[in-house]
Chains A and B, each alone.
Chain A
Amino acid sequence: NAGVMQNPRHLVRRRGQEARLRCSPMKGHSHVYWYRQLPEEGLKFMVYLQKENIIDESGMPKERFSAEFPKEGPSILRIQQVVRGDSAAYFCASSPSGQHYGYTFGSGTRLTVV
């Protein structure tokens, strides 16, 4: 049973390009969460999704960032027109429906904007 899979592990984008980060939750997990970790800081909550629904996006920047978790396929965090300040590690976590246990993180995608 594979864990939470994130790809790519490393992503380099030039300023103004789009970044797409993918997250496949653990088997049987229907809840996905995205976090961002800036250098020297802790993880900051961005968005909580269930299949085809955004539950809580209170941590998402108002512009350029969007997330989806379609009926089929992985969850996608999309950053349009990236800027240097978007450089960070982006972590995805998944959990079974409504459970405290099993909240599991992926290994993250490190985004570098040059």
Chain B
Amino acid sequence: DQQVKQNSPSLSVQEGRISILNCDYTNSMFDYFLWYKKYPAEGPTFLISISSIKDKNEDGRFTVFLNKSAKHLSLHIVPSQPGDSAVYFCAACATDSWGKFQFGAGTQVVVTP
């Protein structure tokens, strides 16, 4: 069963504009969430995380928002840059299953000039 869902397989955004990536989850036991960025032929690279005690975490151009009641999180990238073109994965885990991350299927972001 797919416990973490990224329903948009792709997103095209103009350089300088905001990219918004969405992620939904079904398991209410999840209490830690991460976003990873992946280039072709490379492993996923950690981008930003958020624990369930917060509803927002910001790191430079990247902000993650968590809505626990809706079981929804989003990643905002602003401003988008050409180097942001990659696949972005949402991942989640529960404290009692630490290390066992459930990943979404990913969203391919293309930043156009």
Contacts and interface: CB of A to CB of B under 8 A. Distances in A.
A44 to B, nearest CB: 7
Interface stretch (B13-21, B59-67, B78-86, B94-102): B94-102
Contact of A40 (B4, B98, B99, B105): B105
Interface in B24-76: 32, 34, 36, 41-46, 49
B99 A33 contact: yes
A12 interface: no
Contacts of A108: 41-43
Nearest to B41: A107
Interface stretch (A61-69, A70-78, A79-87, A98-106): A98-106
A103 B33 CA distance: 13
A56 B104 contact: no
B97 to A, nearest CB: 7
Given A100-B32, A100-B49, A43 B99 contact: no
A31 B46 CA distance: 17
Contacts of B6: 42
Contacts of A31: 99
Contact of B44 (A40, A59, A91): A91
Interface residues of A, number: 27
B113 to A, nearest CB: 27
Contacts of B99: 31, 33, 48, 55-56, 95, 103
10 closest Cβ contacts across the A-B interface? A105-B43, A42-B103, A43-B103, A42-B105, A107-B43, A48-B99, A105-B44, A45-B100, A106-B43, A42-B104
Interface of B: 4, 6, 32, 34, 36, 41-46, 49, 89, 91, 97-106
Interface of A: 4, 6, 31, 33, 35, 40-45, 48, 55-56, 58-59, 91, 93, 95, 98, 100, 103-108
